[in-house]
Structure 1
Amino acid sequence: MAPLKHLEMENPIIDACFRDFCSSHGILTVEDFLLHDIYELAALAERQENADRLKEGITVMLSLIEVKCRPWLNGMELLEDMQRSKHTLSSGDKETDSLLQGGLREGQLTELVGPSSSGKTQFCMQAAASVAEKQDGSVFYIDTGNSFSARRIAQFICGSSDAAALRKRVLSRISCHTVYDIYTMFDTLQGLEVALRSQVQKNVNEYRLRLLIVDSISSLITPILGGSGSQGRALMVALGYLLKKLAHEHNIAILVTNHTVGAGESGKTKPALGETWKSIPHVRLMLSRDNRNSNCTISILKHTSMPSGQTVKTTMTRNDNQQYL
């Protein structure tokens, strides 16, 4: 990304004084700023004689990030994205694949929304097992709630005469990374992007990354959205942009999960993270489960090439003592 100096012409607040303050904390580019803990930076600015001006500069930077990192929204780009030849990856669930006309589409960000214990994590692990086993691809799994289970993934792998060797081979293609805050998330995605570019330069195609899972995206974003400032919203938009950039440039299918929140007196629930995030995913799916049994319903809330409202019923199988997540 651009050095901070390149922003001064249109934004005088990003002057030499502000840049010196940032550089003293290792921030030389917009990317450095994005990866830094903004709350820590604001606290450091508070100790300076020109605190008000520095904090204004931080706010302006966040506003610039939000504007420049807005997701693709115009109709022509959506049409081109839909018409571009892309493969689909099986989610591991036949009914869901049928609903989505093949499964999770490479190059797109799919969001799975659902209340607690509806089966979102199980869906993610099932998709990871399916891609690693049946489609000879690798999976990058970001776990934000310590809910990843290699044992559970192994249970999704089809049996064979050499089941142990198959499980070992499949699990070796799934890389799990534990992330508990949004700044570590940016670091993780940055490292992944560097690795992917290196593979392209070296023409490495064996077991290329085909699926990136973030379970759950809302666990990282919700804590930074409090208050009336724009910092949290700007970081949320920037994170969405980086995910879609990875999907688009490296032809990866991305699956993220999100929880639901109450919608006031109506008693209905809606996806968390608000209207700003709503525009980011290419596809939004709602997952609900009948608490009396294992029957689930998946419905389309948003899709680039299909009408919303379509639903399918499926069954989330599980072993005894295995809890929904």
Structure 2
Amino acid sequence: MEFIKWPLSAGLCPSLTQDVLLQLRGKGIETVIDFVSMNPERITAVCGLPFKRVLAIRRVLLAQYSSFPVNGLDLYDETLNTIAVLPTGCKELDNFLECGIYTGEVTEIVGISASAKTQFCHHFATNIAATLKQNVIYIDSTGGCSVRRMSELLKLNHPDEHLTSALSSIKVCKCQSLFEFKNAINEIRNNLQNEETFCSALKVIIVDSISAILGTCMYATSYVEGMSDVQKMGREINKLAKDFAIALVVVNDVVSTSVAVPSATTSNISFSKKPALGRCWSYVPSVRLTFEPVTEPTRLLPKDIMENDRSMDFTVSVTKSPRSFNRSIGLSVTRHGIVKIQK
């Protein structure tokens, strides 16, 4: 990191006269950084200046050129005033997640195909719209967003709410490429800054799925450029969540990696699963939840759940969180959405 070299000049403060300036320059102290980075006792010993004068000059230089300090208690109070905890719509899951999904963070939902990730997004979005009367932007990149399914959830879980009013609080945005995703994020940021009507009550942004958008950029150009795009978008959505106190939920897939386990006779190959998009993405989410089907995963379409009354059990594990770690809970997907497993 290269510091700006502000030169010392007479008149910056009453104690910094021309004679003092010549003494400092004679000892190689020519910039503000040189002065404030040196111990005051050493300046007194080397230059022969009074200790009180050195402290007075140092105090003025720090007040003029240093960043404004923030009291830790004030920063803590500001954080408490801007952070909100949003309920998911399932009491057991809220208790498991320390009251729910936190704003100002990126929460990642990781799992294989047909592990209830999209069903959770539907359940969470409808609960925010109906219970808290807040707006939700649903960025759909896979075509899995079902308005019919969200309407069914609203009718079953919130029968007293007006269906049209609740659905109008959920805005669905189709993004099939990185270019469209960048434009959508930039438009959301501009609308938030300009306090556009819909975004003035925006509390949740759901991206389903982020791997479908960012995974393609690794192969469209070179691998290094693709990783750079992933990092840039990771910083952008993290900054968006923090700047406007929004809960940003992203859905990510898993990939299998093979690891050779040597033995006395042969080398066995073991397979492990990890979130997609690589290590450059791992720093982006503050909370990572892993969804795993209890039995062999079978894709449940909204029609199967609504008309055939089918259900699927799955587990939710916390694999990354500043509040809890290495815990899991069993849940089920039914017509009513995400509920506790019925024994």
TMscore range, shorter length: 0.5 to 0.7
Paired position in structure 1 for 2:152: 155
Aligned to 1:185: 181
User: Post-superposition shift, 1:294?
Assistant: 1.5
Give the CA deviation at 1:81. Answer: 11
TM-score under structure 1 length normalisation = 0.67
1-structure distance, mates of 2:123, 2:90 = 8
Q: Which residue of 1 aligns with 2:330?
A: 313
The change in CA–CA distance for 1:100 and 1:207 in structure 2 (over 3 A counts) is same
Supply the distance in 2 between the matched residues of 1:299 and 1:229 (Cα, whole angstroms).
31
Equivalent residue number for residue 57 of structure 2: none
Cα distance in 1 for residues equivalent to 2:240 and 2:224: 24
CA distance in 1, matches of 2:184, 2:137: 11
Describe the SS at the equivalent of 1:241: helix
- How far the C-alpha of 1:166 sits from its partner, in A, is 1.5
Match of 1:297, as an amino acid? T
Contact persistence 1:95–1:313 (CA under 8 A): no
Segments of 5+ residues of structure 1 without an aligned counterpart are 1-75, 320-325
SS of 1:235's equivalent in the other structure is helix
Greater relative CO (CA pairs within 8 A, separation 6+) = 1
Which residue in the other structure is 2:124 paired with?
A: 127
Distance 2:112 2:76 in 1: 33
Cα distance in structure 1, aligned partners of 2:252 and 2:223? 22
1: CA distance between counterparts of 2:179 and 2:204? 22
Instruction: Name the residue aligned to 1:243.
Output: 237
Q: How does 1:157-172 map to 2 (within 5 A)?
A: 157-159=154-156, 166-172=162-168
Of 271-280 and 79-88, deviating more is 79-88
Q: CA deviation at 1:230?
A: 1.4
SS class of match (1:147): coil
- Confirm or deny that 1:199 pairs with 2:205: no
Determine if the alignment matches structure 1 residue 99 to structure 2 residue 96.
yes
**Which AA in structure 2 matches 1:208?**
A
Question: Percent same amino acid among aligned pairs?
Answer: 29
Contact 2:191–2:199 (CA under 8 A) maintained in structure 1: no
Number of residue pairs the alignment of both structures matches: 237
Tell which deviates more after alignment, 148-157 or 173-182.
Answer: 148-157
Letter in 2 for 1:275: R
Contact 1:109/1:282 (<8 A) preserved: yes
The residue aligned with 2:283 is 279
The unaligned stretches of length 5 or more in structure 2 are: 1-71, 259-268, 297-310, 337-343
Give distance in 2, aligned partners of 1:100 and 1:145.
27
Q: Which segment is superposed worse, 215-224 or 292-301? A: 292-301
Q: Structure 2: which amino acid aligns with 1:283?
A: V
- Provide the alpha-carbon RMSD of the alignment: 2.6
Q: Are the aligned partners of 1:137 and 1:207 in contact in 2 as well (CA < 8 Å)?
A: no
Q: Which has the higher strand share?
A: 2
2:135 and 2:198 in contact (8 A); partners too: no
* TM-fit CA distance, 1:180: 0.3
Instruction: Indicate the structure (1 or 2) with the bigger Cα radius of gyration.
Output: 2
Contact 2:192 2:200 in 1 (8 A): no
Say if 1:107 and 1:248, in contact at 8 Å, map to a contact too.
Answer: yes
Shift, 1:266, TM fit: 2.1
